[in-house]
A and B are shown apart, each in its own frame.
Chain A
Amino acid sequence: MYFVIFWQKLFAMRKFIHKLLMIVGGILIGVANGFLGGGGGMLLVPLLERIFKVPTKKAHATALLIILPVTIASAVIYIINGYFKWDFFLCVSVGVIAGGIVGALLLKKLGSFVIGTVFALLMVGVGIRMIMGK
């Protein structure tokens, strides 16, 4: 009985809960992006897709919009703090843009399940390696 009432209350508050989830999600994303320099998108896309039921394509596009100001804010502070080297940055950026186009084209060719699995495993592996340290 209590359980039912609990669910009914929860249901009545779903708008509020959604907002709460958005704020909590926002805080986590901000921490990841600011403190760890990336990964906000990786949290945001599943949040939009699975909790707010935004269709996949839309979720990716919307995530981009939300992440952009966050990234700009953290990038500005990183630069103020002096983490900036011209030649290094230029080279990597050029690479990233070129690679990005190739990646987007490749995505059409391959199923996302295979890539998804490979990268999930890669991330775990790299993560372990970073914790172990050299």
Chain B
Amino acid sequence: MSAIIIYIIIGIAGGIIGGMGMGGGTLLIPLLTLFTSAEQHLAQSVNLIAFIPMSVVALGIHIKNKLVDFKYFWWISVPAVITSAIGAFFVKDVQSKVLKICFGAFLIALGVLQLIFIVVDIVKKYKKIKKNNQNDFSKGTNYVKIYKTIFLGEKYMQNTFKHGIHPDGKKYLSENAEIESFPDPQFVYIPVQQHSGPPSEPVVTIGEKVKAGQLIAKAQGRGCNVFASIAGVVKGIEKRPTATGKCDHIIIENDFSGDRQFFTKLVDPSREEIIERVTEAGIVGMGGAGFPVGAKLKTDNKIKTFIINGAECEPYITCDYRLMVEHPEEIIKGSLYLAKAVNAENVVIAVEDNKPKGIDSLNGVLSSGKYPNVEVRALKTKYPQGDAKKLIYSVTGYKISATRRSNEFGVLVNNIHTAFSVYTAIEGLPSYSRVMTVTGEAINNPKNLIVPNGTLFSDLIDFCGGNNGAVEIISGGPMTGFGVLSDKIATTKTTGCLLLLPRKEAWLDKPGPCINCGRCARACPSLLMPMYIDLYYKNGNLDLAEKYGALHCIECGSCAFVCPAKRPLVASIKQAKAKLKERSKKK
């Protein structure tokens, strides 16, 4: 009886080692001969036989997961089967003692080999981590991180960033709503400034008839072209408020003729053709920053990796997610055009892991093997994962300080919707509409819509079943969006979301005094201490505010989100930043 128990225990020990992929069989044999009366030959035999049932099961799983490469099978297996049969045949003529010595020698050799591999790997990893972190702005090598990465595995190294928060996603409101077309409205009010840069110059006159897709305002300097989003007659050009300021709007009245005008379709475009088309079609970064993509692509730096930002980390917004689910192939093709425009070697589509369907949909296209240089990377779900520099850190491990640009590090980031628009632009469509999410607890039917630029928020709200007690209307997401005072504001190329919040969800509480709890500092992904910046700015001490890193703030809103005293930290840091920038200009 006790023998049986010992056998089982030794079996378990061998199995554990084997299950960890450490060559358990090779240790099962000496365990048996050292701790039981089993003889060497018998121990070898039991090792061989016990291996079979387990590996059959494991192999089945691996084949199902498509992890098995059949290419090597015949060339290695056939000679191995022959020699193993010969070896097994002759083993009975060898004395147990001699066999034991042979086996011992073999074990030592394997052990030494393994040690050599481990040392080689540690050296390789060490170099890699050091290279990835050479831009660390806290000086010196981070040995703790290196130690953790080497000994505890890759997961400590990448796919997320430090700090950050976990707001309630609220994506369920609209995530299952398929993308619909919003019917062209009676009037559109197209702002001439929909991007970061100088406003564009109108090239149409009042009373002129325009088609959808016709150029109506031309880019100035590093600006971007603006197109008519519906067919109709230009009714006027007037200054109107936008979500963030004021600018000229070109007003077009729909004549319902549905006339459209496209570019010619480019087939297999060259690098220059792509950049030219992207600039011509007026594509801007559609994640919200609105930086003209053409200007971004004209970089002189050597770009290695093109990251497509599908994090969509803000609560409520689902337009990028719907694009991933419904148009994965277009996104991948668009990303490859972008990569080609800067000669990037590979494309990483980074998606937060709370969107498994989006990841599956993209991987489904990639599994055809047609796009070997594209990879989908699942990132940990955390806000603000979608900030370009945080995303770069999560994907590549590069830390880029506020004063430097990502292209100096061989990385460029663009949003998923931008990749999609690049694809449609190469197909011939100018950028005059976009997919946006109309959502929030205060809208009756949350929807994902293709909306022509210049549509009034009020038209969208009516189309989605009307306003149901909203106290706050936000253009953009709840964290970085802009609260607007009226619903007579027009959508732009960068408006990804229209959010209507009821009293329960809106943050209208009066701020209390800071209780010095430090939560804001623990949440800040830029590793700042927002309470001090806030304090010094309010005390009028700009120098100290700068010293505490006000300029490194990415305006993500995490600090204000966690503050129990509801202090409007981002708002005051934003003002501090603006003042500091003004001051440095004067100097």
Instruction: Answer whether residue A73 sits at the interface, using C-beta atoms and an 8 A cutoff.
Output: yes
Interface check A62, CB cutoff 8 A: yes
Residues A31 and B14 in contact, CB atoms below 8 Å apart:
no
Q: Using Cβ atoms and an 8 Å threshold, which residues of chain A touch B158?
A: none
| A26 and B55 contact, Cβ closer than 8 Å, known pairs A37-B43, A88-B7, A101-B19 | no
A60–B88 CA distance with the chains assembled, in angstroms: 24
In the complex formed, the residue of B with least CB distance to A92 is B11
Q: How far is the CB of A105 from chain B (nearest CB, A)?
A: 8
- Is B49 within 8 A of A94, CB to CB? no
Instruction: List the A side residues contacting B50 at CB < 8 Å.
Output: 89, 92-93, 96-97
With A96-B12, A113-B121 in contact, do A26 and B83 touch (Cβ < 8 Å)?
A: yes
Given known contacts A36-B102, A44-B76, A58-B68, is B19 in contact with A107 (CB within 8 Å)?
yes
Q: How far is the CB of A13 from chain B (nearest CB, A)?
A: 16
Q: Which among B20-28, B205-213, B227-235 touches the partner chain?
A: B20-28
Cβ contact within 8 Å between B15 and A96: yes
Which residues in window 34-65 of A have CB below 8 A to B? 34-46, 48, 50, 52, 54, 57-58, 60-62, 64-65
| Contact indicator A73/B88 (Cβ below 8 Å) | yes
State which of B56-64, B500-508, B546-554, B569-577 sits at the interface with chain A. B56-64
Known contacts A68-B56, A89-B46, A127-B106, A46 near B117 by CB under 8 Å: yes
Check: B517 CB closer than 8 A to any chain A CB: no
A54 to B72, CA, bound (A): 10
Instruction: Contact check, B16 vs A103: say whether CB atoms are below 8 A apart.
Output: yes
A75 and B48 form a contact (CB under 8 A): yes
Dominant SS among interface residues on chain A: helix
Q: A74-B48, A81-B92, A91-B11 are in contact. Are A127 and B108 (CB under 8 A)?
A: yes
Answer yes or no: B34 CB below 8 A from chain A CBs: yes
Q: How many A residues have CB within 8 A of the partner chain?
A: 94
Q: What is the total of A-B residue contacts with beta carbons within 8 Å? A: 372
Contacting residues, chain B, for A60 (C-beta < 8 A): 21, 62, 67
Additional A-B contacts beyond A88-B38, A100-B24, A111-B153 (16; CB < 8 A): A23-B75, A41-B23, A45-B21, A52-B72, A54-B72, A57-B67, A71-B48, A71-B55, A92-B7, A93-B50, A95-B9, A95-B11, A99-B15, A99-B18, A101-B19, A102-B15
By the criterion CB–CB under 8 Å, are B53 and A97 in contact? yes
Contact of B220 with A by CB under 8 A:
no
Is B179's beta carbon under 8 Å from chain A?
A: no
- Which residues of the partner chain A approach B55 to less than 8 Å between Cβ atoms? 64, 67-68, 71
Q: What are the residues of chain B within 8 A of A61 when measuring CB–CB?
A: 59, 62-63, 65, 67-69
Which residue on chain A has the smallest CB distance to residue B67? Answer: A61
Whether B16 and A106, one on each chain, are in contact in the complex, defined by CB atoms closer than 8 angstroms, is: yes
Q: List the A residue with the shortest CB-CB distance to B62.
A: A61
Tell me whether B17 and A103 are in contact (CB under 8 A).
yes
Chain A residues whose CB sits within 8 angstroms of the CB of B267 once the complex forms = none
Contact residues of A with B, CB < 8 Å? 19, 22-23, 25-27, 29-46, 48, 50, 52, 54, 57-58, 60-62, 64-75, 77-79, 81, 83-85, 87-89, 91-107, 110-117, 119-124, 126-131, 133-134
Contacts of B68 in A (CB 8 A): 58, 61-62, 64-65
Closest residue of chain B to A60 (Cβ to Cβ) is B21
Tell me which of A34, A46, A84, A104 contacts B91 (CB under 8 A). A34
Say whether A95 contacts B49, CB under 8 Å: no
**Residues B84 and A70 in contact, CB atoms below 8 Å apart:** yes
Given A58-B67, A69-B81, A127-B111, verify A96-B11 contact (CB < 8 Å).
Answer: yes
User: B30 an interface residue at 8 Å Cβ cutoff?
Assistant: yes
Interface-central residue, A33, A38, A39, by most chain B CB under 10 Å: A38
Q: State how many angstroms separate the Cβ of A108 from the closest Cβ of chain B.
A: 9
Task: Report if A35-B102 is in contact (Cβ < 8 Å); known contacts: A103-B24, A112-B153.
Answer: yes
Most central of A48, A119, A129 by chain B CB within 10 Å:
A119
Give the residue name and chain of the A residue nearest to B90 (CB). Answer: A35
Q: Which residue of A lies closest to B153 (CB)?
A: A111
Cβ-based interface call for B144 (8 A): no
**Structural contact, B100 and A102, CB atoms closer than 8 A:** no
On chain A, the residues within 8 Å of B264 by CB distance are none
Instruction: Tell whether, in the assembled complex, residue A104 and residue B10 are in contact, meaning their CB atoms are under 8 Å apart.
Output: no
User: A33 CA to B45 CA in the complex, in Å?
Assistant: 10
**Which residues of B have CB within 8 Å of A107?**
19-21
* Closest chain B residue to A85, Cβ basis: B42
User: What is the distance, in angstroms, from A96's C-beta to the closest C-beta of chain B?
Assistant: 4
Looking at the assembled complex, report how far the CB atom of B15 sits from the nearest CB atom of chain A, in whole angstroms.
2
Say whether A99 contacts B19, CB under 8 Å.
yes
List, sorted by A's number, 15 A–B pairs whose CB atoms are closer than 8 Å. A19-B75, A34-B84, A34-B91, A35-B91, A40-B80, A41-B25, A42-B110, A64-B68, A89-B50, A107-B19, A114-B151, A116-B22, A120-B114, A127-B103, A131-B101
Chain B nearest CB from A60 CB (Å) reads: 6
Known pairs A36-B103, A115-B22; A120 contacts B111 (CB<8 A): yes
Q: In the assembled complex, which residues on chain A have CB atoms less than 8 Å from the CB atom of B266?
A: none
CB of B402 within 8 A of chain A?
A: no
B104's partner among A26, A58, A105, A131 (CB-CB below 8 A) is: A131
CB distance from A6 to the nearest CB of B (A): 25
CB pair A99–B42 under 8 Å, yes or no, is no
Q: Cβ of B80 and Cβ of A66 under 8 Å apart?
A: yes
B122 touches A38 (CB 8 A): no
**Distance from A78 Cβ to chain B, minimum over Cβ atoms (Å):** 4
B434 to nearest A CB, angstroms? 38
The reply to whether B45 and A83 form a contact with Cβ atoms under 8 Å apart is: yes
- B73: which of A27, A65, A92, A117 is its contact (CB, 8 Å)? A65
Lowest 3 A-B CB distances belong to which pairs? A95-B11, A99-B15, A103-B19
Interface string of B423-447 (1 = CB under 8 A from A): 0000000000000000000000000
